[in-house]
Structure 1
Amino acid sequence: MTALLEVTGLSAGYGGVPVIEEIDLAVAEREIAVILGPNGAGKSTLLKTVFALTSRLEGTVRFNGRDIAGLKTSELVPAGISCVPQTRNVFATLTVAENLDIGTYASPPQDKRALRDRVLSLFPDLAAKLNQPAGELSGGQRQMVAMGRALMSAPKLLLLDEPTAGLSPAYLEKIFDLLLDIRDSGVTILMVEQNARQALHIADTGHVLVSGRNYVSDTGRVLLANDDVRRSFLGGRAA
């Protein structure tokens, strides 16, 4: 399977101090890849570095065969990458429709109405709330708005930082189901996720970081059955 994203020897951090070092990672087209690890492992830093939100110190990042390590965030969206941060990911005072519309600004689609219809087909809960301020929605619905807005740029790669953080169990399951739908629509997903066991159940591949470095990478199924991974990151229970 063709690699859509290739990270090689990547070191990055803040103020010249590395948080991640010599990271190697590949994400194939049309797959869900999840980044796991303990707090402070550098998971979000890796995601932010791919999206040019942190300082790359060494290494390369290639997307769709192109070296993107020197591009700005504003250039990555029209190139085909969108990102949903963990917090402050909606414009609370704007309506759902206005939030979705903002997703087209950096990469205007040829047919915005048709694209919005496709996005709403993935998030039917939002169709009846288009004129409602996003700040009035539940946490799960706000996450759908954030993901929908990111998809309004028609990305090839969607980056998600803790998409189920703080959600109720009902919405947690709904978001995981939506991730499968998004993957099946042709969008590749790379995400950081704290609900490791559930994430590995839907992941095509998983990448575990420890202390800012690669620890192990494999399919979701293999990592669920890995004794070391299970004891250290999945609560020790059998897969």
Structure 2
Amino acid sequence: MAELGVTELGMAEPADVHSTRAAYNTVAADYAELLRNELASKPFDRAMLGTFAELVEAAGGGAVADLGCGPGRITAHLDSLGLTAFGIDLSPEMVAVARRDHPGLQFDEGSMEALDLADDALGGIVAWYSIIHTPPARLPGVFAQFHRALRDGGLLLLAFQAGDEPRHLDFAYGHEIDLDAYRLPPGRVAELLRQAGLVVEAQLLREPDGKHEKTPQAYLLARKPACV
């Protein structure tokens, strides 16, 4: 059983969630500055986000949640593509940076494992490198939350580092931290999405960019099927 901490609301949470929040609170400002213009040099990232946006609009639009939004750069890009996007992040410091940098958009604190969203509320979900800190054993619960929050025909886009091993980070973005991250096998993630009731429509695996990336990068696009 995972060690439990206590949130400000008095609710128990796994110790890794507390550590993830603390780590991103620590690095928030420097993380935002380092990644501010990263999409400009990532054509595959822009292509996947653009495809997602087009499919969401074709399916009827609706609100799109950027879960684990960090400083809001992906939320803002989704907004620039014409989507009604908002962000949710575990870290209050990240949310504060996102609100500062993108004052016209909505950002709130929250957890992917306990989404404060109504059933069938969303036309789309993006989880852009934000499932990587959830232990793989708990991903089925996360994907069940995604399925619950998406309306019929709604789209999900995941991005994550491909692999099959955990990493522990003691230092990142100029700060000492205590953070676990998981590289994930794309085929296994696709199977978990299917088990959650989502239909995988596209997969992309690209090689590392030769700069900061050390592993292949994976993207999965899935849909909540319409009830017949």
Normalised to the residue count of structure 2, the TM-score between the two structures is 0.36
> RCO (CA 8 Å, sep 6+): is it higher in 1 or 2?
1
Normalised to the residue count of structure 1, the TM-score between the two structures is 0.35
